[in-house]
Amino acid sequence: MKKIIFIATLLVAITEINAQETKIQKETTSSEFNKWSIDVNAGFSKPTAPFSTNYYSSNTNFIHGDLGVRYMMNNKFGLKLDFGLDSFKNDSESFEFEGKYYRTSIQGVVNLGRVLNFEDWTNTINLQAHSGVGFSFMTNDNFEGNDDMTNFILGLTAQFKLSNRVALNADFSMINNVNQQYTFDGIEEPVVKEDRGFNSTIYNASIGLSIYLGKHGKHADWVTSNSKLDELERRVTELETKLLDTDKDGVADYLDEEKNSAQNAIVDTKGRTIDGNNNGVDDKVEAYVDGKTKVTPTEGQSIEDMINGGYITVLFDFNSSKPTADSYSAINFVTQYLKSNPNSSVEIVGYADEIGNSEYNKTLSASRANFVKDVITKAGINASRLTVAGQGEDTSVDASSADARRLVRKVIFKLK
């Protein structure tokens, strides 16, 4: 009777503690952990009572096995459904008998390692308690049919972490049966009704594995609930996020009021592009355009006007679809503009001089435009923002002048 009261009290306590724990769980541990596991164990079985006179069970019944599916509601409490088999036979000094015991049970699991803060001194050793109730039956070569009964199980499991996916288990469990009709040797049916209570006991000692299932890095068995540590990790993560610098301008995002500055642009302490003469063009871009074209944007003249006006030009050698070496800076300029203006798109327009066949020059001009498009795409601009056009021959210059023809072997840009 004392055993019944003890196990019933334990189950009630587990339920009550788990209800309280669930309320504060979100504050103490992350939900990003695996909750399911398969527990497999094998080892020894030892039934102790009841037995008939001159019948004893061997102390080395090697055949015990159990298979369980466990779900942890959080890192301290869970539920387990398991199935067990015990095979036992007589000791050398006993009359002969042989029996088998089958059981299934639903159990509550307490992750003692987390309750007792094992993480303060180890990350590889853990301890769990489990207790529950189920159905079982026994067969024996000394009687026909099955002896059906109810079982109560109480156990302790030591765990050693092998990896984030597997843990080694060593379990010791006590199983008490209610309403067992026959002795374990199968010879006698208990006469006294009271003998059919909790006086039937089997002990299991086994080793096995917990195999963790799920997509996350850790299982609930090993997730800590140290609130101070969790808070520190949260603050570090928050700080790392704040220190991100998306546009690489040297100003962290949480201080940056202009998070899409062009690469290497000159910015102030708030990440805003510096425009000293207030003409709408940042000073670094303005310096580039001035250096390439000797034309400085004036108030009312935007950088878009300058790009569309042909000031940013990619030049090519005769009969070549690859830009001259010093023209890549023009491609880079347009690329950086597109990165700084994600809603803009551009048409890349290619030209050729008048030397050669017109149809060939049409194809050559398209090849030049496509080459520039490929360079910009590989620099990180989505191809959907780029269109190309091969305009063929540019007849606006004197075809007899080699210097003039050099100016029309080009690609220019039209913003949209």
Taking the C-alpha atoms of residue 217 and residue 150, their distance in angstroms, rounded to an integer, is: 39
Q: Do 2-20+32-225 and 312-415 agree at the fold level? A: no
What b/e readout covers 5-27, taking b as 16+ CB neighbours within 10 angstroms?
A: eebeebbeebeeebeebeeebee
User: Can you give the pLDDT of all 416 residues of the chain as single tens digits?
Assistant: 444 444 544 454 445 545 444 444 443 344 589 999 999 999 999 999 889 888 989 888 888 999 999 999 999 999 999 999 999 999 988 999 999 999 999 999 999 999 998 988 999 999 999 999 999 999 999 998 999 999 999 999 999 999 999 999 999 999 999 988 899 999 877 545 555 556 789 999 999 999 999 999 899 999 986 556 666 777 887 777 777 777 676 777 777 766 666 555 666 777 676 655 554 455 555 555 555 544 445 555 577 888 888 888 999 999 999 999 888 888 988 998 898 888 999 999 999 999 989 999 999 999 999 999 999 999 889 999 999 999 999 988 888 888 889 889 999 999 98
Q: Helices marked H in 220-308 — which ranges? A: 227-242, 283-293, 303-308
Check: CB of residue 273 under 8 Å from CB of residue 266.
Answer: yes
- The crossing angle, in degrees rounded to 10, of helices 328-340 and 283-293 is 150
Check: CB of residue 253 under 8 Å from CB of residue 237.
Answer: no
Q: What class, spelled out in words, does domain 312-415 have in CATH?
A: alpha beta
Taking the C-alpha atoms of residue 224 and residue 161, their distance in angstroms, rounded to an integer, is: 14
Check: CB of residue 285 under 8 Å from CB of residue 303.
Answer: yes
Sheet (strand 346-352) strand order: 314-315, 410-415, 346-352, 386-393
pLDDT for res 293: 45
For the chain, give every domain's residue range: 2-20+32-225, 312-415
Taking the C-alpha atoms of residue 45 and residue 43, their distance in angstroms, rounded to an integer, is: 7
Q: Where in 141-182 does DSSP place strands (E)?
A: 143-161, 166-178
CATH match of 2-20+32-225 with 2.60.120.1360: no
Task: State pTM to two decimals.
Answer: 0.51
End-to-end CA distance of the chain: 87
Check: CB of residue 66 under 8 Å from CB of residue 41.
Answer: yes
pLDDT for res 68: 97
